[in-house]
Amino acid sequence: MRLLVQICSLLWMAHGLESAHPKRFVFIEKHMGADFRIVLHAKDAKLARTAAKAAFDEVERLNAILSDYEAESELSLLSASSGTGKSVPVSKDLWTVLYASHNLSKKTAGAFDVTIGPCVRLWRIARFRKTLPSMEKLTRARKATGFREVSFFPKQRNVRLERPNMVLDLGGIAKGYAADQMLSVLKKNGVPSALVDAGGDLTLGAPPPGKKGWRIEIGGRKHPDLPIMELAHCAVATSGDVEQFVEVEGKRYSHLIDPRTGVGLTTRLQVTVVAPSGMQADSLASALTVLGPGKGAGFVGTLSGVEAFFVQRQGDTSVLTVTNVGKD
């Protein structure tokens, strides 16, 4: 009888250890026009579902603030106030994203600019119709852009859009910020080991159990020399004009626009950034695609904890032109 009790006790302990070992769960929902995927490790399905739901609720909340597609979003209402001379109080989330965008715009001399909305809308139509925007429409759109025409009032947390017909577009930064906030929500719900994939923008929490980090193929392995890395507590974002474009009269124009000209990029460049946060990685990837390998590598060298990979498309081949690690 004693031996039987000991065996039963050992089996119970083994079952307890097995059930306590975190399991891998994957959840996918569509938000912000993209598939958002959460990969997490939790002790049981109930905790995993609860944490994932809270994270998806968070991105839904943020979409109501940051979307330029939703007419009643906080961002759209701010755009509607442009040119009225009124400063508008904004939420903490919108302030954080707009202020970070403005700082990056200044540092890159306008290579990143969330006021590019009017030009973005023109090029969406251009890709659909496979025709270039007319010079008249493009000139009119550019008159409604300019990051220097956004005024910030920190004490009141107010923002004023100085020019009429301005349209803010956070497509190069919103998903990264949302992924950061989702990861924070997962951690608050008892799930620190998680990865959030916001339509290709990755934000990484603590590594999977027994691992040094999450296995990430940089840039989707578009070039054989791009590394496979194990990363944790950071973010990875890729931007480029290699796949989404319109071809007119034999020339390819990207869906990505150079804010300084209002014209779609023609460089056929892909940039992947590893940075401390999703918001930084997302916005930097967009800015560096506009700056290009030369100026972009120089700019990354001034940053802390940032790594960038530039892949230039030349004919039918992809050439790794720069791999650059920012200063410590």
Which pLDDT score is estimated for 271?
Answer: 93
Which pLDDT score is estimated for 317?
Answer: 61
59, 42 Cβ separation under 8 angstroms: no
Q: How far is CA 166 from CA 162, 252, 260, in A?
A: 8, 27, 15
The pTM (predicted TM-score) of the whole model is 0.90
Q: Is 102 found in the same domain as 50?
A: no
- The sign of the torsion formed by the CA atoms of 318, 319, 321, 327 equals positive
Ordered mean pLDDT values, 10 residues apiece, the chain (328 residues): 40 44 95 96 97 98 96 97 97 98 98 96 80 87 96 97 97 97 98 97 97 91 83 95 63 81 85 96 96 91 92 69 54
Q: Is 254 found in the same domain as 194?
A: no
Question: Would you say residue 251 lies in a domain?
Answer: yes
Which pLDDT score is estimated for 243?
Answer: 57
Question: Would you say residue 4 lies in a domain?
Answer: no
150, 159 Cβ separation under 8 angstroms: yes
Question: Would you say residue 55 lies in a domain?
Answer: yes
Question: Would you say residue 281 lies in a domain?
Answer: yes
The interaxial angle of helices 174-188 and 92-107, nearest 10 deg, is 130
300, 306 Cβ separation under 8 angstroms: yes
Q: Is 278 found in the same domain as 188?
A: no
Question: Would you say residue 11 lies in a domain?
Answer: no
DSSP 8-state assignment for residue 240: E
Which pLDDT score is estimated for 326?
Answer: 57
**Domain of 135, in residue numbers:** 77-161
How many domains are there within the chain? 3
- 79 closest CA partner among 154, 174, 145, 157: 145
Which pLDDT score is estimated for 133?
Answer: 81
Q: Is 319 found in the same domain as 258?
A: yes
Q: Is 310 found in the same domain as 273?
A: yes
